[in-house]
């Protein structure tokens, strides 16, 4: 074993690890697994020229920059699809600036080739065991019993990555906080990146967590039970008080496997108080509404995302649906409070259901 020397970066994919855990590295002739931590050196700058550390700071990367990296799978239509290699490899691809590494399988033609990382060895403990982030969860629920009632869940989903989900989630956090409510925030699926949950924290949410707090560097291709378990463990962490609100985001679009698993799960569906659907343009929103209704029997309570900032997109959208749209880039407090807060009971009527037929103008 060799000792790690100062000067290396600990990226956000390794968020669950404490500094004292990272002491030694050693070459091992074994295929990597999801969550395995390696010590490496950037050998060629490509698409990602920076690394996000465990505090959220963005470091400029150079050829020769050393860091610990975490093996994981990534699903990112705007960038890469990457998988953990099934054999030992001397170099790997940087799949995200959070320090996630693997081998690129497919690439968006509009982005550069991936940044390359030379693997110097696995990070190991004093006993020589390979460090794996999944063995260091920061969230360990004291009980698996969900005491009722629980916090209302504002669930944010979208058509794809970069459709404006995180900004919409932050707008929800800002609104509820401005109205005097305590808000907890989470990103349940995706690829390690602190920026989204930090944005929700900036909007007033605390605590704020994601799957990296449970030791997972990403959620792509995880077993179904593990995906639902992540939701339930974060649920236990964030939603214990009916006086609070819980704002949660699911990554990418409603088509990818992991999002679909959660939208199909009774554990998730029965907890939704408000469903917010985000899209990059009007017709993406229109098509997504029909997929939500036909595939999942869900109707969102509001539409937002990138399209919500464009009057022309809003004009197109208004010819197809009367579901309210809120501008996530410039949220209106009164409008969002009317959307998010539980309606007053009138004549014994309960809150609006999230299933049924799409409201069409």
Question: Is the residue at 331 inside a domain?
Answer: yes
What's the whole-number mean pLDDT along residues 326-355?
71
- The helix/strand/coil state of 23 is coil
Residues 129, 267 within the same domain: no
206-227 residue pLDDT tens: 999 999 999 999 999 999 999 9
Q: What is the mean pLDDT of the chain?
A: 93
CA–CA separation, 66 and 288 (whole Å): 42
Whether 349 is covered by a domain: the verdict is: no
> What pLDDT is recorded for position 359?
45
238-253 pLDDT per residue, tens: 999 999 999 999 999 9
Q: What is the pLDDT, as a whole number, of residue 344?
A: 52
Per DSSP, the three-state class of 306 is: helix
Question: How many other C-beta atoms lie within 10 A of the C-beta of residue 138?
Answer: 14
Residues 333 and 201 in one domain: yes
Q: How far apart are CA 108 and CA 25, in angstroms?
A: 34
* Same domain, yes or no: 290 and 214: yes
- Same domain for 335 and 232: yes
Q: What is the DSSP letter of 114?
A: P
Instruction: Please report the pLDDT score of residue 19 as a whole number.
Output: 81
Q: Indicate whether 356 belongs to any domain.
A: no
pLDDT for the residue 20: 87
Q: What's the pLDDT score for residue 348?
A: 34
Q: Are residues 82 and 12 in the same domain?
A: yes
Domain that holds residue 286: 153-340
Q: Which of 134, 161, 182 is the last residue of a domain?
A: 134
pLDDT in tens, 94-114: 999 999 999 999 999 999 999
The domain total for the chain is: 2
The predicted model scores a pTM of 0.92
For the record, the structure tokens of 143 come out as 């009980």
pLDDT digits (tens, 9 = 90+) for 13-36: 999 998 889 999 999 999 999 999
Same domain, 207 and 124: no
Say yes or no: 185 and 304 in one domain.
yes
Q: Do 128 and 160 share a structural domain?
A: no
pLDDT of residue 144: 76
The answer on 311 and 177 residing in a single domain is yes
Q: Do 126 and 201 share a domain, yes or no?
A: no
pLDDT at 346: 28
Per the domain annotation, does 346 fall within a domain?
no
Helical axes 282-296 vs 311-318, angle rounded to 10°: 40
Q: How confident is the model at residue 334 (pLDDT cuts 50, 70, 90)?
A: very high
Q: What is the CATH number of the domain that holds 334?
A: 3.40.50.300
Q: Can you give the pLDDT at residue 360?
A: 41
Dihedral (Cα; 311, 303, 306, 157), 10-degree rounding: -170
Q: Which is higher by pLDDT, 348 or 144? A: 144
d(CA 39, CA 25): 7
**Last residue of some domain: 85, 103, 134?**
134
CB 71 within 8 A of CB 109: no
The residue from 69, 100, 134 where one domain ends is 134
Establish if 357 belongs to a structural domain: no
CB 44, CB 63: distance < 8 Å:
yes
Angle formed by the axes of helices 165-178 and 333-340, to 10°?
A: 90
Contacts of 315 (CB under 8 A, 6+ apart): none
Task: Assess if residue 336 is contained within a domain.
Answer: yes
Co-location of 110 and 203 in the same domain = no
Please check whether residue 24 lies inside any domain of the structure.
yes
Residues 27 and 160 in one domain: no
The pLDDT value recorded for residue 5 is 87
Q: Which helix (H) or strand (E) holds 325?
A: none
pLDDT digits (tens, 9 = 90+) for 222-237: 999 999 999 999 999 9
Question: Is 358 contained in some domain?
Answer: no
């Amino acid at each position: 074993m060799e000792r790690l020397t100062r000067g290396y970066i600990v990226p956000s994919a390794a968020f669950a690890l404490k500094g004292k855990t990272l002491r030694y590295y050693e070459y091992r002739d074994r295929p990597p697994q999801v969550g395995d931590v390696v010590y490496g050196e950037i050998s060629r700058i490509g698409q990602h020229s920076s690394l996000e550390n465990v505090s959220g700071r963005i470091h400029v990367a150079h050829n020769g920059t050393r860091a610990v990296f975490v093996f994981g799978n990534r699903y990112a239509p705007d960038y890469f699809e990457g998988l953990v290699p099934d054999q030992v490899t001397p170099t790997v691809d940087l799949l995200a600036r959070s320090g996630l590494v693997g081998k690129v399988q497919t690439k968006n033609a509009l982005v550069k080739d991936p940044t390359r990382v030379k693997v110097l060895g696995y990070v190991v403990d004093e006993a020589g065991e390979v460090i794996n982030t999944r063995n260091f969860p920061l969230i360990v629920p004291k009980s698996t019993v969900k005491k009722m009632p629980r916090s209302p869940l504002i669930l944010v989903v979208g058509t794809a990555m970069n459709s404006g989900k995180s900004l919409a989630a932050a707008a929800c956090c800002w609104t509820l906080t401005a109205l005097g409510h305590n808000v907890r925030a989470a990103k349940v699926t995706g690829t390690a990146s602190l920026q989204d949950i930090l944005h929700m924290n900036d909007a007033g949410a605390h605590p704020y967590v994601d799957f990296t707090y449970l030791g997972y560097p990403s959620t792509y291709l995880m077993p179904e039970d593990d995906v639902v378990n992540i939701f339930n463990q974060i649920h236990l962490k964030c939603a214990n008080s009916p006086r609070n609100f819980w704002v949660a985001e699911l990554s990418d679009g409603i088509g990818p496997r992991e999002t679909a698993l959660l939208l199909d799960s009774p554990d998730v569906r029965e907890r939704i108080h408000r469903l917010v659907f985000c899209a990059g343009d009007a017709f993406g929103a229109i098509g997504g509404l029909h997929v939500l209704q036909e595939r999942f029997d869900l109707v969102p309570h509001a539409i937002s995302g990138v399209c919500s900032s464009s009057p022309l997109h809003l004009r197109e959208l208004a010819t197809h649906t009367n579901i309210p749209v809120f501008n996530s880039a410039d949220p209106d407090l009164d409008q969002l409070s009317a959307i998010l807060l539980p309606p007053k009971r009138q004549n014994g009527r309960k809150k609006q259901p999230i299933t049924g037929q799409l409201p069409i103008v």
